[in-house]
Structure formats: C-alpha cells, structure tokens
Structure 1
C-alpha cells in the first residue's frame, strides 16, 4: 500500500512577493533585482536575487519540510564533496502572504545537463559517480532518514508499488523489471543519497560536470535511488563507467533500474496520447531501461 498520500497543493509565487519577503527580512539585499529563473523548478520556485544569489521558495507544504534539512546539512556536506553544491546563505521565514520557510542560496553558474551539451559522456558519467562515491562516504550520524520530507527516497521501492502497478498497463517486460527490482535485497547499510540526480540538477560548464544542485530529497538510506540517472541520461558506455566507478552489485543495480522505471512509467502515464518532447523522451527512456535489462549493457 502506498504511503505517499494525495498530491501536494502547490501555490503560486510571484517576483513581487519575493521582493517583499527580502525587504522585510533581509534589508541588506532589498535593493537587488528579483527576477524568475528560467525553468525555475516545480517543487520550489527559484528567483535570481541580484547577480550572485537566488531565492528558493517551496511551492507546497510538503516541499517546505526540506528547508530546515538543507540549512542544517548542506554546510556539513559541502566540504566533503568534490563539486560545488548550493550551501544556504540565509533562511527566510513566512511572510508577505507566503506561508513557508524559504532559503537564499549562492547562484552557481552552469547550464543544466543534456545529452547534446555533455562534451565527453564517459568522463561525465565517471565524474558523477565520483561525486556520489564521496557523498555516500559521509558519516550518516543524525542524518535524515526516508520520510515525507523527501517522498521516501532511500526507502523501499514498495512504497511506489501501487502507483507503478496502475501505470504498467499490461507491459509484460516492464512488469518483470519492476518485480525483479522489488525482490532485489538491500544490505541495510545506510549511506547518504541526493535523491533526485536528474539532468536539471546537474550543471555543466564547457560540457563538463561543474556542480550538483537541489538537495531537497537528500537523506540517508538505500542509495539506489541515485542510480536512475544511468538510464535517463547516460549513454551505454557512460552507464558502464558509472557502474564501475560506483562498484555497484547486481541487487543495487536492479533497485536503481526500478527507481528509473518508476519515474519513467509515471511520465509515460501522464503523457499518454501526447507527442511532445516530454512524451517522446519518456518512451525513449522506457525503451532504454528495457534494452539494458535484456542485454545487460
């Protein structure tokens, strides 16, 4: 049975609202320009704050649960990681008709990763794996465990079984892949994970991985959720390099494939009957997952 509950009730956030919040709570930044970030996020609304900072505001109560976590843990994680991450500069309070805590972050330069922007797919995959190796090696004492704050990332795939069963819609091979993922055992050793290693959260400069952002779903538990990127973005050669650098066993790889399948089936179900870019990309990823499962490549 799913423990996820109903979808979050998102609210709109406007630039004028952010300006009022900043003026009320951080008068030293009141004169800075506030403007929306292009493709500024779904779980959080992100705005430029001057040229060197950003304001990040949760779009729903569920996402606001991550604010205190990021304020507490990103400063501790950052010195132990090989790439920049967005360490918060300040924590905002509710105000100006905005009901949640929010954050001010440094602006990290780069463009979101995409297959056509990555200069060397194998090096990119190895660099990303190296980042995850470092993240997984950080001490988990006191770290947040899977829960509502991160939609149960790092926990059991069974949390999503009800949703996946509805989305499978008679797809025999996908059902086999999902069943295999559910049955793959975890050794129970908790490790730090990011929770949403996706193209939009990986920043490139000159085609190389330069920063990792959006740690709202991070925590400690089963890190297999961070492997989904192997099917959603990496090439076949990159996927092999990624797995080798992480030294992932078969069971963990199967669970990672399951995370990729869950995410992709949800998008396929939502875009069924459409022929736009999102729908085409979801079907491509589903084909990639199935092909890799059959060939092991």
Structure 2
C-alpha cells in the first residue's frame, strides 16, 4: 500500500513538472519565437511592449484555458465512467457534448452575430443544453431506477439526435456563421482571451473540489447499486449529483473550447491504468493528465504548420485514436 502511494505521489509530482515544462516551451515557441531570457524579462515586467502583448494577451490566456478545459473534461469523463460502470463512457458518447454544442450553435444561429462578444453568455447556453441532454437521458433511462447500461444506450441515441439537429441549424446559417460554428465544433481555443478564462474559472474552482470530496462515493457506487445501498449510500441522490457535476464541467468546457472529443474518454482510462481504480488518486491524476494533454496538443497544433493552426480538438482526436489502436493491439 505504501509503495503504491509512493508511486502515485511520484507520478503526480512528475505530471506537475511536465505541465510546467510544457508551459515554458509553449511560451517560447509560436509564429513569433521568444527566447527564454526574453520570456523571463517579460514575466517580471522588463520585456518589450511587443513581447508583453504576445505573452500576456495571446499565449498565457490560451494556455490557462487549455489547462482548465483539460482538467474539466477529464474529470467529467471520470465521473461518467464511475457512475455508468463503463470505461468507454464520456461526455461525447453520452450526448452531453452534443447537447451543449447544439445550444451554442442555436445561440449563434439566433443571434447571427459574433458570440465571442458575449462570452459570459456562452457557458450558460452550453450548460443549459448539457442539462437538457442529461435530463432527457436520465428520464428515458429511468425504469425503477437508472441502469448504467440503459444510461449508455440512451445517451448514444440522444447524442445522435442532437448531432443531427446541429447539422440542420448549421445548414440554415450564413457562410460566416457556418464557418465559425464548424471551427468551434471541431474543438478550438484559438482567439481566447482572459474573459474566457474568467468565464470558465469559477466552474472549475467550485466543482473540482466537490468531485474530489465525492471520490469515496464513486468508489462505493462502483460496487453496484445494491451493495452501495447496503453501505448506507443514497444511490439515486448521489448519482444525480455526480451527473450534474459532470454535465456542468462538460458544458462549461465545451462552451469555451468547443466539442473536444476523446479527452474525457482517454484520460480517465489512462489514469486508471497508472494508479488503479481508486477514485481519490485517479481523479487527481486525471485532472493533471487532462491539463497536460490539452496543453501539449494545443502547443503542437499552434506550431506544427505555423503560421497556420490545427484546431486542438483534431490533435486530441488523433492522439486518442492512436492510443485506442495501441490498446486493441495489446489486448
């Protein structure tokens, strides 16, 4: 037990160091490369106006957004996998992402303007869409309680329905809004600024600690409904609370970063392989892994075809696809 805790501790420290190193690399490279010494001078207020503009107005907010979305989506996926007893569950497969995505696309369609000017409204719209999707999934899945298998199957159906509605409303848009919605749906954090960070930060700060506090409850639910009830857990009440947390995290993250696929699926799966099924260590590892993966993916997307950019969602999907092909080959 002590050896496993030590390994987990070293892993967490290693992930934190990897995030710091990736942050430093991401600050240095880009369309305009800035030497490490100049980065340091700029950070302490002695850099040029140009470097201050690039670092503080463009790169830093985007990097913070990547860390927040990565941890939020990873924790959302970990909760859903724990609640459904299915390692292939994630906000995308269950229809939560598409519900949030439909709300944002509908918002763009109805306003016919630039939604980035109303960034504080987007998380609320996405959260509303995610909640509607979650309520539909929960109500349709209900049959003397909610079966995890029914939850997954209904979620797949709801996902397909909302995905179809997204396409319908995209086809009704003018070319500019259609392009904007398409880029957003592919998963994109380009053009974000500190206002996006302020819109997302309260959700992450408030909901992540609650999730860590509920790690023991997730462990209990993993034993099965009957066993959890025998241990004194109010199964449906706890399941609804955990689902709401997962929906809120996914909805707020999708509102800012678009429909980034695979992140909530791959990261908890990998964290479980590294630290085991206990949710206390797994949730912390998932949050750090998710933050590191999305930050690294954004750094790659910004630079691999510079000055052009690849949306971060496509990079994450590529990494996720390769990972699952590797798992299939090893199984």
TM-score bucket (shorter structure): under 0.3
> Which structure shows the bigger proportion of residues in helix conformation?
2
Give the greater-gyration-radius structure (CA): 2
Query: How does the TM-score come out when normalised to structure 1?
Result: 0.26
Larger proportion of strand: 1
TM-score by length of 2: 0.24
